[in-house]
Structure 1
Amino acid sequence: MHLKKRILVTGGAGFLGSHLCDRLIAAGHDVICVDNCFTGTKHNVYHLMDDPHFEFMRHDITFPLYLEMDEIYNLACPASPIHYQHDPVQTTKTCVHGSINMLGLAKRTRAKILQASTSEVYGDPEMHPQREDYWGHVNPIGTRSCYDEGKRCAETLFMDYHRQHGVRIKVARIFNTYGPRMHPNDGRVVSNFIVQALRGEEITIYGDGSQTRSFCYVDDMIEAFLRLMGTGPEFTGPVNLGNPHEFTIRELAERIVAMTGSRSKIVHKPLPHDDPRQRKPDIALARERLGWEPRVPFEEGLIRTVAYFEEFLRAL
Structure 2
Amino acid sequence: MIAVTGAAGFIGSNLALRLAAAGHDLILVDHPLTPAKAANLADLARFRVLDHEQFLTLLERDRPQLSGVFHLGACSRTTETDWAYLDRNNVRYTRTVWEWCTANRCPLVYASSAATYGDGTRGFDDRTPAAELLPLNLYGKSKNDFDAWVQDELRAGRPTPPGWAGMKFFNVYGPREDHKGGMASVVWHAYRQVKDTGEVRLFRSTVAGVADGEQRRDFVFVGDCIDHMLWLWAHPAASGIYNSGTGHARTFLDLTRAVFAALGREPAVRFVDMPAALAAQYQSYTRADVSKLRAAGYDAPPTALEAGVAATVEWLRRPA
TM-score interval, smaller chain: 0.7 to 0.9
Shift of 1:301: 1.3
Q: Which amino acid aligns with 1:204?
A: R
Aligned to 2:39: 43
Which residues in structure 2 correspond to 1:145-224 (within 5 Å)? 145=138, 147-161=139-153, 163-168=157-162, 169-183=164-178, 185=181, 186-200=183-197, 203-208=200-205, 209-224=213-228
- Seen in structure 2, the aligned counterparts of structure 1 residues 170 and 179 have a Cα distance that, compared at 3 Å, is same
Q: TM-score, normalised by structure 1?
A: 0.83
Q: Which amino acid aligns with 1:285?
A: K
User: What count of residue pairs does the alignment treat as equivalent?
Assistant: 297
Q: Which amino acid aligns with 1:218?
A: V
CA contact (8 A) 1:70 1:111 kept: yes
Shift of 1:124: 0.8
**1:291 correspondence with 2:312:** no
Q: Which amino acid aligns with 1:19?
A: N
In the TM superposition, what whole-angstrom CA distance separates every residue of 1:119-144 from its partner, at most 9, and x where no partner exists? 1111111145x2122345425xx6x2
Shift of 1:281: 0.8
**1:242 correspondence with 2:245:** yes
Q: TM-score, normalised by structure 2?
A: 0.82
Corresponding residue SS for 1:96: helix
Give the distance between the partners of 1:277 and 1:161, measured in 2 at CA. 33
- Seen in structure 2, the aligned counterparts of structure 1 residues 205 and 127 have a Cα distance that, compared at 3 Å, is same
Shift of 1:23: 1.8
Aligned to 1:3: none
- Seen in structure 2, the aligned counterparts of structure 1 residues 292 and 177 have a Cα distance that, compared at 3 Å, is farther
- Seen in structure 2, the aligned counterparts of structure 1 residues 27 and 159 have a Cα distance that, compared at 3 Å, is farther
CA contact (8 A) 1:72 1:111 kept: yes
Aligned to 1:27: 22
Corresponding residue SS for 2:158: helix
RMSD: 2.6
Give the distance between the partners of 2:18 and 2:262, measured in 1 at CA. 29
**Worse overlay, 202-211 or 295-304:** 202-211
- Seen in structure 2, the aligned counterparts of structure 1 residues 251 and 58 have a Cα distance that, compared at 3 Å, is same
Q: Percent sequence identity over matched residues?
A: 24
Corresponding residue SS for 1:172: strand
**1:58 correspondence with 2:65:** no
In the TM superposition, what whole-angstrom CA distance separates every residue of 1:136-189 from its partner, at most 9, and x where no partner exists? 5425xx6x22x1110011113334455323333222221111111123512432
Corresponding residue SS for 1:111: coil
Structure 2 unpaired stretches of 5+: 206-212
CA contact (8 A) 2:78 2:140 kept: no
Structure 1 unpaired stretches of 5+: 1-5
In the TM superposition, what whole-angstrom CA distance separates every residue of 1:207-227 from its partner, at most 9, and x where no partner exists? 323221011211121111011
Q: Which amino acid aligns with 1:43?
A: A
Shift of 1:201: 6.0
Corresponding residue SS for 1:216: strand
Shift of 1:71: 1.2
